[in-house]
Amino acid sequence: MFARALGRRCPSCGAGPVTTRWIHTVPACPRCRLRLDRGEPDYFLGAIVFNMALAEALFAAALLGVLLWTWPNPPWDALYYGGIPGLIVAPILFYPYSKLLWLAFDLLFRPLRPSDFEPPPPRSA
Ligand SMILES: [Zn+2]
């Protein structure tokens, strides 16, 4: 399921891609009709947590690597001015993956249920 999510495909059946533009996902999988938000409001809050944790973990790993590589004279200015845009860009780049990885993670703990395949309610204007 995680490999399918990293391919921007449905974690359940592998159909896809289930992203329309970089940050948008389709409401339901085109093959198995799994609702990507599982019919829950604010479902993707977990994806935001995944996203921020990954961005911060990447920054921490890069910081540690640069410090170990350049010690005892680390480039503090480069770390400072490179870290800020890195922490802004990384969550944007990882966003579609984090939504689908969150869904895969959730499916591990809460298996599919019939309500996951019900059509989404019509949007009110
Ligand atoms: Zn599917």
Residue 35 has a pLDDT of 93
Given this model, what pLDDT does residue 34 score?
93
- pLDDT value at position 23? 80
| Dist. CA 53 → ligand 1 center (Å) | 26
Residue 21: the pLDDT is 83
**Interval between CA 35 and ligand 1 midpoint (Å):** 9
pLDDT tens track of the chain, all 125 residues?
Answer: 999 999 999 999 999 889 888 888 889 999 999 999 988 888 889 889 989 998 899 999 999 999 999 999 999 999 999 989 989 999 999 988 999 999 999 999 999 999 899 887 776 65
Cα–Cα nearest to 5, from 54, 61, 40, 69: 54
Ligand 1 centre to CA of 106 (Å) is: 15
Helix H, strand E, coil C: the string for 42-83 is CCCHHHHHHHHHHHHHHHHHHHHHHHHHHCCCCCHHHHHHHH
Record the tokens describing residue 15, joined without a space. 């159909």
